[in-house]
Structure 1
């Protein structure tokens, strides 16, 4: 390679290398956080895709196994982007069952499909079908992610000044992924080498621009999850001590279960406060500040957990009857709460659980 090619290789490969390092670092340091886990998968998948493009551009005789790894990683970019935003926007702390099922299918397609039809043996299949399928899947997830961000996208056009740092970061991540998708899609459709290698340069630029302008000035934790609604006119409340909060939370949970308070469809926060003999405003503070949940979310979790037990043990009861049993006064309310807590429907939950058992 001449000096120009060496510089081009260095700049295009730099982003891929640093993306891999950053992805592994996030995975190691923040592995208990679902948004961070998905962000690391996204970074690793994009970095492997870019690395494959850079290597094949400068070494067209690269062994096919590296091409297969790069395309397999590309297959996960769209899903990782979509589920990253779902986890960040909904503040997911536990991976829902249906997410695990969907990712198992994706990984199964990569592993089993790659083992049965390796690139080395079936290059035509990969070049003329698998690659197009991968980009189709990537594109579908990009569109689905845009649907998730439709409110933020609308605000960016109507009132850009109303976007906070988190929304700006989200739009930047989404926009950069759209740009990378377009660049590599153009390279796939028109087979233009200049466009192909520009993906690596683009990713390097994006990565360093992101670090400099976003992560440098803010804690990355604050940029990944949905912002809390705050009021500047109200003084900050003193948080209840963790030791006191733990005692009250345990007492609250015990009273709810012992007296089956969750079964009361008209249950109010003041009723719970009286049950554990604390003021209503302190209970509200305990739930919101220490437990990070609203009153309705807290009660719904108890109700839905009990509903799940009944679904698996009381096969004769209809879903509607179970909803009434755990404290809901309508079928629609029960279904909506179940979907929100479990991210699936009662019927799918029962079917999935029975299969796993």
Structure 2
């Protein structure tokens, strides 16, 4: 018969696992477009779920069996902070080149914990089992005590470093979000702030529970209360992410079909190059550019970005406005038609490339080439066919 505190821990672990599975399913349903950022949330949630599995094994399995699982469960906690940091790096458009390096610490931690389990089995053959828990006097074994203290200190240090880095990258993201995404800055700031505060609380709770696990082997009500707080915070995080589905989504674009939805993430240098290539493809096709009703949202949808992102790339990296870009492409095509089809009227050519009137065409053409269409045609044709 389970005691009341242990029964509470069992129920809390089950509730936490259900929440984690729900959130994983929710993220999975967002599809491939969201995977680049959400893959790190997957890692974070799986690591959190492993902590709930650990609580289940502590209650349901024999202590001699759970001893072998210590390296797995404790190592998983070292994946939490890098995962959430990489998530915010991804949505901020600053993906690291070697993201897996952030998880390099997992291997030495796992090896250290395997060694500690081996030392326990070697030096504590007569394990003292008290009320379902193994009691060890770590102070009597220097190497074993140092391993656990080093792992615990490493966890605290990692949390502190990554929390600072996460808050910094998030602050930069919020500064750029309004410019590139045209986002509701107040709502976005509130969402990110609540998410970060919730994650910070989770790590404080993790630190507290880890300290309690090492400092004492008793499953008392203090541990139960800490776990209840953990589950409540995790529930709030589930609600936050569920209330903002696909908030940060990367685009799929095959160069032919228009994306089904608009991506919402910041663009980095590599993405700017990809946007420029997509823009060149749309320009070369010409159909949309020569449409008299073309607009910034239509062009952005064809490229696979938001209007704010396209405007950002045009202004900051190509040095021109949307209308300047459209008029330049139309003028280039009109210049070709004026020379290659000399029998066509200027008005016919103007309307074929998207201008609504001859006067508008003349103004745009002269602004770009410095000549009117008629002068450009006559001078170019005369150079091609000089009078002998």
TM range, smaller chain: 0.5 to 0.7
Corresponding residue number in structure 1 for 2:235: 208
Aligned length: 251
Corresponding residue number in structure 2 for 1:68: 71
Contact in 1 for aligned 2:9/2:55 (Cα 8 Å): no
Between 178-187 and 65-74, report the one with greater CA deviation.
178-187
RMSD: 4.4
Distance, in Å, in 1 between the alignment partners of 2:106 and 2:148 is 16
Which of 137, 145, 154 aligns to 2:166? It is: 145
Contact in 1 for aligned 2:44/2:84 (Cα 8 Å): yes
> What do residues 72-127 of structure 1 show as CA deviations (whole Å, max 9, x unaligned)?
1110111111111222343x7xxx461xx231x24444246524762422562541
Judging changes above 3 Å, is the alpha-carbon distance between structure 1 residues 136 and 280 closer, same or farther for their aligned structure 2 residues? farther
Between 136-145 and 192-201, report the one with greater CA deviation.
192-201
Distance, in Å, in 2 between the alignment partners of 1:71 and 1:280 is 62
Contact in 2 for aligned 1:42/1:81 (Cα 8 Å): yes
Judging changes above 3 Å, is the alpha-carbon distance between structure 1 residues 88 and 197 closer, same or farther for their aligned structure 2 residues? farther
Contact in 2 for aligned 1:42/1:80 (Cα 8 Å): yes
Corresponding residue number in structure 2 for 1:114: 110
Q: How does 1:1-357 map to 2 (within 5 A)?
A: 1-2=1-2, 4-22=4-22, 24-26=24-26, 28-30=28-30, 32=32, 33-52=35-54, 55-56=57-58, 61-90=64-93, 96=95, 98=97, 101-103=98-100, 105-111=101-107, 114-115=110-111, 118=114, 119-121=116-118, 124=144, 126-150=147-171, 163-164=186-187, 166-189=188-211, 191=215, 194-211=221-238, 214=240, 218-222=243-247, 224=248, 242=258, 253-254=280-281, 278=290, 282=294, 284-290=296-302, 291-292=304-305, 293-295=309-311, 297=313
Distance, in Å, in 2 between the alignment partners of 1:18 and 1:251 is 42
> What do residues 159-183 of structure 1 show as CA deviations (whole Å, max 9, x unaligned)?
xx9731x433322221122112222
Contact in 1 for aligned 2:10/2:59 (Cα 8 Å): no
Question: Which consecutive residues of structure 2, in runs of 5 or more, have no partner in the other structure?
Answer: 121-143, 176-183, 251-256, 260-275, 319-388
TM-score (norm 1): 0.55
Distance, in Å, in 2 between the alignment partners of 1:122 and 1:19 is 36
Distance, in Å, in 2 between the alignment partners of 1:178 and 1:146 is 10
Contact in 2 for aligned 1:15/1:47 (Cα 8 Å): no
Judging changes above 3 Å, is the alpha-carbon distance between structure 1 residues 197 and 296 closer, same or farther for their aligned structure 2 residues? same
> What do residues 195-227 of structure 1 show as CA deviations (whole Å, max 9, x unaligned)?
54444322322233444x5466x35223x569x
Contact in 2 for aligned 1:45/1:77 (Cα 8 Å): yes
